[in-house]
Structures are given as C-alpha cells and as structure tokens.
Amino acid sequence: MKHIWTDSPTPKRLNIERSAERRVVTLPARLTWKDQRGTTRFATVLTRNVSDFGVYVECQSPVSIPLFRLVQFQLERTAGGADPLPPSLQQGRVLSAVYRVSPPAGARPQGLALRLMIDPRHAVPAHVEATRATA
C-alpha cells in the first residue's frame, strides 16, 4: 500500500498586495472618449473608489466602451476636497485606459475600472503626500 504524505492545505492569501491603497469615495465624475467613428462621447459616472493609479466608476445608464479604450477622466468641479484624493486626480483631466467592464446586473449598475495613465515615477503616493503636509 502506498501512502502520500501531504501537509495541511496551503492557506489561500486573503490580503491583496497593492502598490497603492484604495480609498472608498462617492464622487460625481465625467468620462470623455472618442468612439470608433471619431465622434466625441461622454458619460456622467459615480466614482466609487480611487487609488494612486486607478479608479472604479459606476454608470447609471450603460455605455459602450470597449476594453483598452483611452478615456479622459475628470471629477466634477462640485466634488470638493473633503475626501483625500491622489495628486493626479486633483489636477483636472487624467488620461485613463479602460481595463475592466462589469455589465449591469439587477440593481447593480455597469462598472468600469480605469487605469490612470500617469508616470508612476512621478506619482507621489497619497500617504507620502500626507506625511509631507504634516511635517
């Protein structure tokens, strides 16, 4: 009879290692892009969370934006500075790429994950910026 020795199962990693902390927000924003015919399109969205290099937004009415489409992301001017935002989002419009599209399901609206097209060498993480401000 052959026996195979096994250790206890490998625990699954529950913590997700990210290069920047993701912060939950609820801020109105606008996406602007050009469709395949070159027509400028826009959508009003609700920003759900932000990090130094990415944003997740929800669209109340579904939009047709393919993966990897470049879009301009801009927080609405009425979105005050109450929430801590990465420096790249405080500048105004940010070129971004769509890297995930979640279709609407039931009461959940369509979601878009955007990668901010900023040079990571020049981005100052928010926690470092906060440390500088208090020093």
Q: For residues 58, 74, 21 and 105, what is the CA-based torsion angle, rounded to 10 degrees?
A: 10
Q: Output the pTM of the full model.
A: 0.74
Total Cβ atoms within 10 A of residue 2: 3
Cβ count near 111 (within 10 Å): 18
Name the token pair of 94: 């940010």
Determine the Cα angle at 61 with ends 118 and 88, to 5°. 15
**CATH fold group of domain 23-134:** Thrombin, subunit H (2.40.10)
- Residue by residue, pLDDT tens for the chain (135 residues) are 565 655 555 555 556 666 678 889 999 999 999 999 999 999 999 999 999 899 999 998 889 999 999 999 999 877 555 557 888 888 789 999 999 999 998 889 999 999 999 877 665 555 555 555 555
